[in-house]
Structure 1
């Protein structure tokens, strides 16, 4: 199990830790869960239903990255796909969080953009981001599939996720590195099936 080292590791040590988390992900992440995520996203986007993506901090950047790949292109020429990043509109984020609460900034947008048959992909290394959990609760009420990308165990998001993709680590940067691999795989698979 990785831990937060007291001394800064060498480059080789850091990369060895990253490789270890990738290998443990290979050993513990159920291929059926990943396939379920690919199938749900493919079905939604294929029917022109929204894929909403959200997260905070680095995970907000990952949400933007995912939607950029799907609206634009990953590897193949194809039509743009209906992927919406819930952390990319500063006017909505700042107005709603200032007037109401940052805890509901994603759930409010899920009310606006979510639809039955759609999917929400929430990213949280801890699995405990209150605003992502609130968005999942609204999404479930709308008949959307909820997919969580988290660290080990899924945190509180596990209880509101239809599909849990959890990385077996508690180290935020190592989890984020595996998340990039996972969502690049999701993008590649979805695009291949829809192109």
Structure 2
């Protein structure tokens, strides 16, 4: 059997990442409990990101509205990335870095928990949405 270093190396990275995730499980549990309180209290989890992170944010905002695992009342969740007309209008009028910030200011409300997803951390548009 031939061992392929890129594949086994990736497996090692995944193992290490899972170990780190397990070490931080208590943080994830607290965050999940807080998010549940926000949702049951009428708050929403607006989530957005760039590129592939946008796709993950879109999936994340679909879960509270849909079924997920069990039947339950639907919860509101929005994605500041959605809506090509306003996205391109804001980018044209204010610049790309203002796209999420304008949408969060327009649609965000007290009690919401804004989630900004990024694999690179390089986009200036995400921090401006949190301001």
Length, aligned pairs only: 128
2:102 maps to 108
- Tell me which moved more, 63-72 or 36-45: 36-45
Q: In the aligned structure 1, how far is the partner of 2:34 from the partner of 2:104?
A: 17
TM-score, structure 2 normalization: 0.85
1:123 maps to 117
2:15 maps to 19
Q: In the aligned structure 2, how far is the partner of 1:9 from the partner of 1:131?
A: 37
- State yes or no: 1:71 paired with 2:45: no
Give the deviation of 1:120 after TM superposition: 0.5
- Aligned residues: CA RMSD: 1.9
1:151 maps to none
Q: In the aligned structure 1, how far is the partner of 2:38 from the partner of 2:8?
A: 41
Q: Structure 1 residues 87 and 9, CA, compared in 2 at 3 Å: closer, same or farther? A: farther
Asked if structure 2 preserves the Cα contact closer than 8 Å seen for 1:50 and 1:113, the reply is no
- State yes or no: 1:34 paired with 2:34: no
Q: C-alpha deviations, 1:86-136, integer Å up to 9, x for none?
A: 112111211111221111111111111111111111111233431111111
Rg bigger for which structure?
2
DSSP 3-state at the match of 2:61: helix
Q: In the aligned structure 2, how far is the partner of 1:51 from the partner of 1:120?
A: 6
Which aligned pairs between 1:48-67 and structure 2 lie closer than 5 A?
48-67=42-61
Greater share of residues in strand: 1
Asked if structure 1 preserves the Cα contact closer than 8 Å seen for 2:42 and 2:111, the reply is no
- Select which of 131, 135, 143 maps to 2:129: 135
TM-score, structure 1 normalization: 0.59
1:169 maps to none
1:88 maps to 82
1:166 maps to none
- Select which of 32, 41, 47 maps to 1:47: 41
* Contiguous gaps of at least 5 residues in structure 2: none
DSSP 3-state at the match of 2:72: coil
